[in-house]
Chains A and B, each alone.
Chain A
Amino acid sequence: MQKFVRKAGLVAPMDRANVDTDLIIPKQFLKSIKRSGFGPNLFDELRYLDEGFPGQDCSQRPKNPDFVLNQPRYQGASVLLARANFGCGSSREHAPWALEDFGFRVVIAPSFADIFFNNAFKNGLLLITLSDEKVDQLFAELYAQEGYRLDIDLANQVINTPSGESIAFEVDAFRKYCLENGLDDIGITLEQADAIRTFEARHRASQPWLFRG
């Protein structure tokens, strides 16, 4: 997992509620056994006019000019501004893999679906939850100003807007630590091997029916 580095990022809008993981990365691209290469198929059905299939050269495909990420002003965006319940539906981690492979490092929304939330942080993708009002305000500012950038300061847990406003955000301390250091939690948990072994022995003795004989 790559470390999260502070940087003022160009912001792109995804102005609809309940963006599901099927929409983020459609099923035909899930037949890979790798973690990378999903970026060209991010939002595939919205982004292209033709039907996509795995292994295609996406640079040759007809793009939907109305789709927001195809518009010139949002090229190079690394912050996605979204609506409530972003990432609902399937548990596929291919969704954060695709967002990250495309170049997004931050998603801001009023709420995120739970499994997506966990998956994103495991891949260095910072999710920031703000109030509906704040998200509305950021959408308005974004639409009003081409080249709208937000400075995401994870260390101090603030978003700095072009007008000089600082918006504080919450992040779980453990997740922040992992993001800042590029760590995943498997290494950390492996250090608890003795505690797991002790628990397991007691658990098996007290509830043997939980285990296949």
Chain B
Amino acid sequence: MPATTLYRKLVDSHTVERLDADNVLLYADLHIMNEYTSPQAFAGLAQRGLRVRRPRQQLGVVDHVIPTRPVPIAARTIDIAPAARQAANFAANCAEQGIKLFDVRDPMQGIEHVVAPELGLIRPGMVVLCGDSHTTTYGALGALGFGIGTSEVEHVLATQTLVYRVAKDMRIQVDGRLPLGTTSKDLILHIIAKIGAQGARGYAVEYVGEAITALSAEARMTLCNMTVEAGARAALIAPDAITSDYVCERICDMDDAALAAARAAWRQLRTDASARFDAEHRFDASEVAPYVTWGTSPDQALPVDGTVPPLSDAAGDIERATWHKALDYIGLAPGTPIEGIPIDRVFIGSCTNARIEDLREAARVVWGRKVAPGVRAMVVPGSGLVRDQAEREGIAQVLVEAGFEWRQPGCSMCLAMNDDVLAPGERCASTTNRNFEGRQGRGSRTHLMSPAMAAAAAIAGRIVDIRKESRA
């Protein structure tokens, strides 16, 4: 056997057949759906007179359009008619095909990429597909996950497979340890800023190194989740004891013998020592600072003690024009220090940063303090289970006493498909993954950062350097 990367092992173990030099027919162990990228796929399936081939290998979660108003779960409704229609259509499709659905009033509803791992449904060695680009999250648990389009959703529903063009292999090694005050969110913003929004386009990225293995399972999810913002087709971290413990604590359908067999198999899921990568990057974690985006692309990010770059720093005319548009949109002048930029809103949430560890970080920064006057700050937990746990731990109370809105789970203002939307010109410190034009509302201005940095911004009313706080 030639030396092989973890990525290739996962592809090979799921290859039904080779189609040509570039493409394989790839088997999906699990397929997750949401209400907005699946309806046309179900309709297409019905038009062909087909049924879902493997209903038990599907999971449905209503997350993108659901309101997050803090009403009791049993009273949750979707009031916007097209969104309600979409959710009802989804529920009908899942019911008709025998697919497990976490619907609007389910206490375990949440963001799909938070719900699936916390229920032990994502396991090392899996191929997991979903009509959502942030499916790369699952690489944190040693599963090959990636986003697909609606036509591909239909293909998976019909065949449990996908026509898949194999990616190239990239290794990103991160040595050292992350400094105090920084998180895996800062690490991924640092990496994207260095390699660019298409720096990993066409690649499956495997993360290795001391800084990576030191991360918790949830911190790894943040890292792999946002690797898609560098254009990556997948992100992977070889499973270790942290992974196995996280997964085994959550699996409820396997006995001890089966779990032991699984753990033994997971230990084999690693890149062979002499395997070759098509591209390699190396970073030093000690150089990572709290990062904040200044523009309208996730690679337009800087350490918080930096200043908005002059247009003369752009690499060529196209980048200069792109920066010019970005600065015009975001309303910042070159030379402006990032620290001190006043903010109107704070959003703590999304599949990137709405897990329990993220909320603990935010609570640690804000306890005993108040959100600055004039700032509206909200926390949207990643799932019903995260919400319950935060309430049990007292985190919710800390956040509420500080003046944060404590809301029901959903994708919410990460993409503003529900009614959580910024007004034109509003500036938001956000723990989400995309600072695109209009992403959080028409004319919205988004600054991506870690939960601790967003929480500190809420208290100060402006972007601050968490390292200067006693609670870094």
Contact = CB atoms under 8 A, between A and B. Distances in A.
Given A15-B321, A22-B438, A89-B133, A114 B297 contact: no
The residue among A28, A33, A92, A192 with the most chain B CB atoms within 10 A of its own CB is A33
Contacts of B270: none
Contacts of A83: 318
Interface stretch (A58-66, A68-76, A159-167, A196-204): A196-204
B397 interface: no
A15 B325 CA distance: 11
Contact of A211 (B57, B80, B165, B233): B57
Contacts of A17: 318-319, 322
B108 to A, nearest CB: 15
Contact of A118 (B152, B158, B322): B152
A67 to B, nearest CB: 12
Interface stretch (B20-28, B183-191, B379-387, B450-458): B20-28
B73 interface: no
B154 A212 contact: no
Interface in A70-99: 83-85, 88-93, 96
A54 interface: yes
A31 B65 contact: yes
Given A23-B437, A189-B163, A213 B254 contact: yes
A118 B148 CA distance: 8
B231 interface: yes
B16 A195 contact: yes
Nearest to B126: A210
Nearest to B43: A33
B102 to A, nearest CB: 15
Contacts of A23: 436-438
B40 A34 contact: yes
Interface string B26-61: 010100000011011001000010000000110000
Contacts of A212: 56-57, 121, 253
A158 B318 CA distance: 26
7 contacts: A22-B439, A45-B438, A83-B318, A85-B197, A118-B148, A186-B48, A200-B160
Interface of B: 13-14, 16-17, 19-20, 22-23, 25, 27, 29, 36-37, 39-40, 43, 48, 56-57, 64-65, 80, 82-83, 85-86, 89, 121, 123, 125-126, 131-133, 146-152, 154-155, 158-161, 163, 165, 167, 197-198, 201-202, 231, 233, 251, 253-254, 258-259, 261-262, 265, 297, 318-319, 321-322, 325, 415-417, 424, 434, 436-439, 442
